[in-house]
Amino acid sequence: MSDPDPNDTFAQARARHDELARRLRDARYRYDVLSAPPMTDAEYDARFRELEALEAAHPELVTASSPTQRVGSPPAGAFPPFTHLQPMLSLDNAFSSEELAAWAQRVARRLAAATGAAADEEQAQAADAPPMGYVCELKIDGVAINLVYRDGVLATAATRGNGEVGEDVTAQVLTIDDIPYRLTVEDPPAVLEVRGEVYYPLADFDAMNAERIEQGEAAFMNPRNAASGALRQKDPEVTRQRPLAVWCHGIGQLEGLAFDRHAQALDWLDAAGLPVAPETEVVHDLDAISVFVQRATERRHDVGYEIDGVVVKVDDLRQRELLGFTARAPRWAIAYKLPPVEQQTRLRAIEVNVGRTGKATPYAVLDPVLVAGTTITYATLHNELQVQAKDVRVGDTVIVRRAGDVIPEVVGPVLAERPEHAEPWSMPADCPFCGEPLVRPEGEANHLCENVDCPNRLRESLTHLAGRGALDIEGLGEQTVDLLLAEGLVADLADIFRLHEHREALLGLEKWGAKRVDNLLAGIEAGRTRPLDRVLVALNIRHLGPTYAKLLARALPSLQAIRDADPETLEAIDGIGPIIARAVHSWFATPRNAQLVDDLVALGVTADAEVAPGDADVDPDLLAGWTVVVTGTLEGFTREEAKEALEVRGAKVTGSVSGRTSLVVAGADPGSKRDKAASLGVPIADEAGLRRLLEHGELLDVPAGDRESP
């Protein structure tokens, strides 16, 4: 935010005000109604603050139609209008702990004034006042929803609209599993308005987008827009296909029931069968609020849905009444904003990387920008179809997103800021590393460099071959690979197993003593004998990750047998589809690859060892129909291994807990997912339970009747 320049003439201020108001209104409409905002939330917040500053300097500019006085957008007519029983307001924001403290002080002052005590916080505290109670909640980045229950039955569900009148999306909301049609309490109130946020669970969002990207379809910008788009489908059957979920965080109109405190109301909603986020805490001072904010910042990517802040609310409902509202927000609550996961920056160039399987991936070179605490200079653009679907052009201002451990990506351009001569982008004809043509196989979204000896493919293949999931060669990391390539000591994958012949040359490397050389050679020696599935992974075959490599190795237990198999034989293996069957067959059929396998075998790479122990004879349908979430640290499995062990038995493993989850496996330090499972009544198993499940296909220790196998 910048203060308005005091030299600004009023006319200038008004012109800027009009411009900002117009852009903010347009952005708001595109956000609420089209599910496709033209700028990031961070940019919106910054412009909004600029508008507030202008209005503070020139109060004449405040009109009833200013975005600072309004909530949301008027209903667009796609759905029947619904007048909320009580208005749905917005929240004021705080962007620093100072602003948060200032809010708490304003609250204390107003309460003191309203109750006739001294208008000084300390004196008010001293005068035997009970300690201030605040409820801290996560601020869910979803779509606001109002659920009206009459006599315990869902009568209407509506979007926020302009805060007074929203859109009736009852049919769409009824497809969401989390939302009860009937409340589960004995004596439901005559009228109950529940306020909540509809969201798209992150794991589902990532999976959906990965699939769309693989298919060359337009990816969704972010989970919020995906949720908004899914909720605003005219045909509720389309909404039903999307895994939407809800968290309830408040009450509007309430008749036939009363509460003293917000925390009580949340507990009651929970008991009534409504989903209430477990990460909610009652605290009594600013320090405790800071601790909550700190924890939310650290865990923001573990909760399974996107959050953009922490909402702090006065707990005592009588105090809330005394505090009241401004035109657009309650005075009794504030949203503390977390660093945004999306930012705008300039796209300097689009370059292409070629990975270990030959896949050519365009990526953005950006003006460095801070996104959720990390400076981003590169971001993936996935493939040519994605670049074209998003219409991203060099010179554009683009929106960059980095959510958790997902690699940063460019989600789209800010069209209003496109330079005049920006040209659409297309994939270069030739590989930037070896000059061979890039080809796009029929029906695929990705371009490939088919040159097995392409220097960049080789570099990435070597690193992968040495990696944990493949031959696990200690001492052979990315930098060593680069050095060996630069020194001409390796020219293909098999050369790794010839390195012992070059001990002298290795000893001659700068800063390489005998110890380091011997460690590397010992690491390579150990890598010579690995189970077949890991050898398969090491070969860098397209689409062949560890799960499928295990299925293959189990069905055809020698490298020769896999090599000899035709696509039909491969496809007949349980769990192997046509894409993998074709990829495996064509890899072995390529003469250069066949030569490589011959060399590796001749060099003693054991290619017919057994599959990793304990995994033989797995029934691929043992856990069909199970949806499992794994959380916390397990002793005998990495998270990946547990996931894989479940998946090869037919279970679906997801990242977030919902009413559809069959089981949560909780290791040490499980965090919020375990709490959520407990609050939803989803069974929770420990590591021993997981082992029993993997062996028997059922949870033997859960009392009968508590849960049946799904």
Contact range with ligand IVH by CB under 6 A, out of 53-61, 87-95, 538-546, 589-597 = 87-95
Which is closer to ligand IVH, CB of 332 or CB of 425?
Answer: 332
Interface with ligand IVH (CB under 6 A), residue from 89, 360, 559, 630: 89
Interface with ligand IVH (CB under 6 A), residue from 20, 27, 54, 91: 91
Is 401 in a helix, a strand, or coil?
strand
Least Å distance, CB 305 to ligand IVH, is: 10
One-character DSSP codes across 199-262: E--HHHHHHHHHHHHHTTPPPPS-HHHHHHHHHT-SSHHHHHTS--EEEEEEEEEEES---SBH
Least Å distance, CB 352 to ligand IVH, is: 40
Residue type, 189: P
245 close to 176: Cβ distance less than 8 angstroms: yes
**What part of residues 163-222 is at the interface with ligand IVH (CB under 6 A)?**
197
Contact range with ligand IVH by CB under 6 A, out of 77-85, 98-106, 168-176, 330-338 = 330-338
Which is closer to ligand IVH, CB of 333 or CB of 400?
Answer: 333
| Binding flag, residue 279, ligand IVH (CB under 6 A) | no
Which is closer to ligand IVH, CB of 262 or CB of 401?
Answer: 262
> What is the rounded radius of gyration, in angstroms, for the C-alpha atoms of the chain?
29
Which is closer to ligand IVH, CB of 135 or CB of 465?
Answer: 135
Which is closer to ligand IVH, CB of 311 or CB of 347?
Answer: 311
| Binding flag, residue 315, ligand IVH (CB under 6 A) | no
- Closest residue by Cα to residue 389 from 445, 441, 350, 457: 445
- Closest residue by Cα to residue 174 from 193, 158, 161: 158
Is 164 in a helix, a strand, or coil?
coil
The Cα-based distances of 242 to 139, 205, 245 in angstroms read 22, 10, 9
Least Å distance, CB 265 to ligand IVH, is: 12
**What part of residues 126-145 is at the interface with ligand IVH (CB under 6 A)?**
137, 139-140, 144
**What part of residues 564-623 is at the interface with ligand IVH (CB under 6 A)?**
none
Residues that bind ligand IVH (rule: CB under 6 A) add up to a total of 14
Least Å distance, CB 85 to ligand IVH, is: 14
Interface with ligand IVH (CB under 6 A), residue from 278, 330, 413, 575: 330
Least Å distance, CB 32 to ligand IVH, is: 11
Residue type, 572: A
At 666, phi and psi to the nearest 5? -115, 120
Q: Which residue is nearest to ligand IVH (CB)?
A: 144
Alpha-carbon torsion 132, 135, 141, 142, what sign?
negative
Least Å distance, CB 140 to ligand IVH, is: 4
The C-alpha atoms of residue 213 and residue 222 are separated, in whole angstroms, by: 14
The first and second tokens of residue 140, run together, are: 């869910």
| Binding flag, residue 335, ligand IVH (CB under 6 A) | yes
Which is closer to ligand IVH, CB of 279 or CB of 495?
Answer: 279
Least Å distance, CB 333 to ligand IVH, is: 6
The first and second tokens of residue 706, run together, are: 């508590």
One-character DSSP codes across 85-103: SS------EE-SHHHHHHH
User: Which residues touch 608 (CB under 8 Å, ≥6 apart)?
Assistant: 532, 557, 558, 559, 560
174 close to 181: Cβ distance less than 8 angstroms: yes
For the annotated catalytic residues, the residue numbers are 139
**What part of residues 247-276 is at the interface with ligand IVH (CB under 6 A)?**
249-250
The first and second tokens of residue 441, run together, are: 């196989």
Residues near ligand IVH, by CB under 6 A: 89-91, 137, 139-140, 144, 197, 249-250, 311, 330, 333, 335
